[in-house]
Structure 1
């Protein structure tokens, strides 16, 4: 399956963002359980992060991102890319 990356930048106050972090973590655990091999993290600098995951297509990847609590609660701006791995 292809890999996808959601690169995000926070757009709300930390206190608002933090309200949805546990739901985001639970969502990523669901993705892992469904076989999407998801990984999520944040930049050492303030204000953003990234989620890597597998999906069958860009359409599926867009649907996965749309269900992320950080997206549903308008906490981040993001870009979604298919990541072509050249060396493993």
Structure 2
């Protein structure tokens, strides 16, 4: 299954963003339970982050990303890319 990466930049104030973080964490845990091997984190300098996950196709990855509470609540702008692994 291919890897996909959602690279995001926060666009709301921190209190608004933080309100949706618990739902985002649960969303990522559910992706893990479903076998998507999801990993999520933020940049040390704050203001953005990344979600790495498996999906069947780009269309499937787009559908997954649209379920993310950070996306659904307009907390981030993002780019979605298929990541082609060269070395494991």
Aligned counterparts of 1:79 and 1:18: Cα–Cα separation in 2: 21
Query: How does the TM-score come out when normalised to structure 1?
Result: 0.99
Structure 2 matches for 1:11-22, cutoff 5 A? 11-22=11-22
Query: How does the TM-score come out when normalised to structure 2?
Result: 0.99
Residue in structure 2 matched with residue 41 of structure 1 by the alignment: 41
SS class of match (2:37) = coil
Corresponding pairs, count: 88
Structure 2 unaligned spans of 5+:
none
1:38: how far off?
Answer: 0.2
1:86: how far off?
Answer: 0.2
User: Over aligned residues, Cα RMSD in angstroms?
Assistant: 0.3
Residue in structure 2 matched with residue 4 of structure 1 by the alignment: 4
Aligned counterparts of 1:37 and 1:46: Cα–Cα separation in 2: 24
Residues 2-37 of structure 1: CA distance to partner in whole angstroms, max 9, x if unpaired? 000000000000000000000000000000000000
Aligned counterparts of 2:11 and 2:66: Cα–Cα separation in 1: 17
SS class of match (2:87) = coil
1:46: how far off?
Answer: 2.0
Structure 1 unaligned spans of 5+:
none
SS class of match (2:78) = strand
